[in-house]
A = this chain, B = another copy of it.
Amino acid sequence: MSDKRAVVLLSGGLDSATTLAIARDEGFSSYCLSFEYGQRHSTEVQFATKVASHLGATEHRIARIDIGAFGGSALTDMSIEVPVNETGESDEIPVTYVPARNTVLLSYALGWAEVIGASDIFIGVNAVDYSGYPDCRPEFIEAFETMANLATKVGVEGDKISIRTPLIMLKKEEILKLGTSLGVDYSLTVSCYQLSKEGESCGVCDSCRIRKAGFSAAGMQDPTQYQ
């Protein structure tokens, strides 16, 4: 087992699976962290567990958090309808945006990184497909890293914690090709915002549409089970 440790945020989606494969390729021992936060599609955590096992994670923990308690997003608040034709091209912030989500998830990762002595935190954010989400932008990630190094023992004592976003400027088809070259089995991943309990994807939500288009652009077979 490598001495280089990384915390990898793992959602069960294709971006975070690819990110885990990249961390493994760089020789990190990967400590994967998933969340149950009142999301509509908690089935995704079961996919995350399969992905962690498939890609040789050292450990996989699931934290139950109350992020949905405040409402304000179609993904956690049942009173807001998930849009089926939301464009990814507008400058507006989508209603599927979860307030401060990446801030909360990275904060947990930071706590675990400190306890296990991990130098790197990997998160599969992407500024191309999710241009409307403020917390997917490079400038947010840089500011979080600066804060993280002031927040922790590690930062104070001289080592540095790096927030790693290897996918941030990649198109979906580039992510899929990269992951495939690193051995990712995308049939173990899901993207759907309204996944059924049986793990079937709707095929019409924004996230499904981006996924389908990515496989198509990459010239790859889409292994997703659609309803």
A residues lining the B interface (CB < 8 Å): 61, 63-67, 69-72, 93, 97-104, 107-108, 110-112, 114-116, 134-135, 137, 139-140, 143-144, 146-148, 150-153, 155-156
CA distance A111 to B102 in the complex (A): 10
Q: How far is the CB of A138 from chain B (nearest CB, A)?
A: 10
- A66 to chain B: which residues have CB within 8 Å? 63-65, 108
- Chain A interface mostly helix, strand, loop or mixed? helix
The 9 closest A-B pairs by CB, nearest first: A100-B111, A72-B115, A143-B147, A63-B66, A99-B114, A99-B111, A104-B107, A140-B150, A100-B110
- A116 to chain B: which residues have CB within 8 Å? 70
Q: How far is the CB of A162 from chain B (nearest CB, A)?
A: 15
> In the bound complex, do residue A147 and residue B146 qualify as a contact, i.e. CB atoms below 8 Å apart?
yes
Say which residue of B102, B153, B155 sits within 8 Å of A151 (CB atoms). Answer: B102
Q: What would 11 more interface pairs be, CB under 8 Å, given A67-B108, A107-B107?
A: A63-B69, A65-B65, A99-B112, A99-B115, A103-B147, A134-B155, A134-B156, A135-B151, A135-B152, A140-B147, A143-B146
Asked, given contacts A99-B115, A143-B150, whether A69 binds B65 with beta carbons under 8 Å apart, the answer is no
Residue of B nearest to A134 (CB): B156
CA distance A115 to B139 in the complex (A): 22
Residue of B nearest to A100 (CB): B111
Say which residue of B143, B146, B151 sits within 8 Å of A134 (CB atoms). Answer: B151
> In the bound complex, do residue B115 and residue A134 qualify as a contact, i.e. CB atoms below 8 Å apart?
no
> In the bound complex, do residue B134 and residue A103 qualify as a contact, i.e. CB atoms below 8 Å apart?
no
> In the bound complex, do residue B140 and residue A97 qualify as a contact, i.e. CB atoms below 8 Å apart?
no
Asked, given contacts A104-B108, A107-B100, whether A70 binds B147 with beta carbons under 8 Å apart, the answer is no
Residue of B nearest to A77 (CB): B115
- A67 to chain B: which residues have CB within 8 Å? 108, 111
Say which residue of B104, B110, B111, B140 sits within 8 Å of A111 (CB atoms). Answer: B104
- A64 to chain B: which residues have CB within 8 Å? 64, 66
- A114 to chain B: which residues have CB within 8 Å? 72, 99-100
